Amino acid sequence: MGGFFGAASKRDVVLDVFFGVDYHSHLGTRRAGMVFYDNGTFQRQIHSIENAPFRTKFEDDLVDFHGNSGIGCISDTDPQPLLVRSHLGVFGITTVGAINNADQLIEDFFADGGKQFMAMGSTKVNTTELVAGLINRKETLVEGIKFAQEAIDGSLTLLIMTDDGAIIAARDRMGRLPVLIGKDDDGHCISFESFAYQKLGYEDCYELGPGEIVRVTAEGFETLAPAGDQMKICAFLWVYYGYPNSNYEGVNVETMRYRNGAIMARDEEARNGQIPDVDYVAGVPDSGLPHGIGYATETNKPFARPFIKYTPTWPRSFMPSNQAVRNRVAKMKQIPVPELIKDKKLLFVDDSIVRGTQLGETVEFLYGAGAKEVHMRSACPPIMYSCKYLSFSSSKSDMELIGRRVVQELEGDEGQKHLDEYSDATTERGKCLLKSICEQLGFDSLEYQSLDGMLEAIGIDREKICTYCWDGKE
């Protein structure tokens, strides 16, 4: 994943961009960077954020940065933003998305007369450099961005800061991710997360449509390429990785999660005639909590936090390279409240069940701490396809997903032809999948939110929402 923030203003924007980018830290753990434009010059810095948070890594750079325009990013992939000099001028560029056909694009680039890309240690070409190479094939930045977006199999959302301090923002062709513009008395900012600019004193100004390209300056913004009429915004923004305070397409993340938990409980009661008799409803921290609140409210059960993550010294960005240490850290973070676990019947809501490994360990941990029953609810349907648009999950293959793995165990290759039935808990195959996952992970009961229930909770036209993870529909 990844996220970005940029600002163009009549005043210095270094602190705005610094804090604005920092507020996107939940979207990536690998690299971060900022570039500023000041009177014809650019200043740029990139750091690894694998073992220390963004602010710690960049605060020493702040004294050297100046500028009325700047862009920055949190990147889960390659180092960026990059500074590029081409026939289109000098520009800073940062990208979010996924490129599935990078090798083909590089071959096409050479076949078409292109001569070189810088290679990284892995011999891979930096994704953002590849995008810049595609953009530079055309005569204007706008033509180049459109060309890159057409050529890329995956998705591409970007910010470009040009050598006059203006910022060009382009939302992916299908609008998989949000891009919003904020406004204050001195200028404008562009952000993935709306709360980031609201907290910095900017007001909502504009949300780009799918494929829309805008040019943003201190004075205002203009559309350089209009929005397309088809949109597929990522449903997982609301279910899992969007920040609770943000709004996308006018729908707040936190309140969607309350609705989602409530709808799940409502439908479960209608389907089964009852809800398990538990002492507490809880959410798996962190993004399971609001879905759990919705479920508890709907069922009139007490909400509790039987275990709480210890985060002060282990922020999410703490990623030791050693797998054994990482596993140890995951366990060390979960601190139980024994009074809320021992001899208690618990119902947990998690945002999703991807591979199931972590959840299996959580359940073991709860039983180890004396829980009498552990029921699990997933706030979205079984995930059957790895995301190919956002480098969202790190699954290398669909068969790493617990849903697909269990289908294979149940019915072999034949089962893979009936994934739509398996994802629907009201069908025989769906019930079978549910039962097998429930047994494998050791829950007392398991239910999934339905696709219809999740889309009802988001509440915008379902045709505008990407549901590929669940139904494989492009």
Phi, psi of 436 (to 5 degrees): -65, -40
Contacts of 463 (CB under 8 A, 6+ apart): none
Is 96 one of the binding residues for ligand SF4 (CB under 6 A)?
Answer: no
Pick the closer one to ligand SF4 by CB: 202 or 389.
Answer: 389
Cis peptide before 351 (omega within 30 of 0): no
Half-sphere exposure of residue 2, counting CA atoms within 13 Å on the CB side?
31
- Which of positions 233-262 make contact with ligand SF4 (CB under 6 A)? 234-236
Is 469 one of the binding residues for ligand SF4 (CB under 6 A)?
Answer: yes
Is 5 one of the binding residues for ligand SF4 (CB under 6 A)?
Answer: no
User: Least CB distance from residue 373 to ligand SF4, whole Å?
Assistant: 32
Among 192, 392, 422, 448, binds ligand SF4 (CB under 6 A): 392
Helical spans, DSSP H, in 242-315: 253-272, 288-299
Q: In whole angstroms, what is the distance from residue 198 CA to residue 23 CA?
A: 11
Sign of CA dihedral 300, 306, 312, 315: negative
x/- map, 339-378, ligand SF4, by CB under 6 A: ----------------------------------------
Is 387 one of the binding residues for ligand SF4 (CB under 6 A)?
Answer: yes
Pick the closer one to ligand SF4 by CB: 114 or 244.
Answer: 244
* Among 198, 91, 199, residue whose Cα is nearest residue 142: 91
Is 389 one of the binding residues for ligand SF4 (CB under 6 A)?
Answer: yes
- Which of positions 130-189 make contact with ligand SF4 (CB under 6 A)? 176
Pick the closer one to ligand SF4 by CB: 213 or 458.
Answer: 458
Is 466 one of the binding residues for ligand SF4 (CB under 6 A)?
Answer: yes
Cis peptide before 178 (omega within 30 of 0): no
Collapsing DSSP to helix, strand or coil, 313 comes out as coil
Residue range at the interface with ligand SF4 (CB under 6 A); choices 4-12, 111-119, 323-331, 384-392: 384-392
Geometric angle at alpha carbon 169, from 24 and 125, rounded to 5°: 75
| Local structure of residue 245 (DSSP, 8 states) | T
Q: In whole angstroms, what is the distance from residue 54 CA to residue 32 CA?
A: 7
Is 458 one of the binding residues for ligand SF4 (CB under 6 A)?
Answer: no
Pick the closer one to ligand SF4 by CB: 46 or 466.
Answer: 466
Residue range at the interface with ligand SF4 (CB under 6 A); choices 200-208, 230-238, 357-365, 396-404: 230-238
Interface residues toward ligand SF4, by CB under 6 A: 176, 234-236, 387, 389-390, 392, 466, 468-469
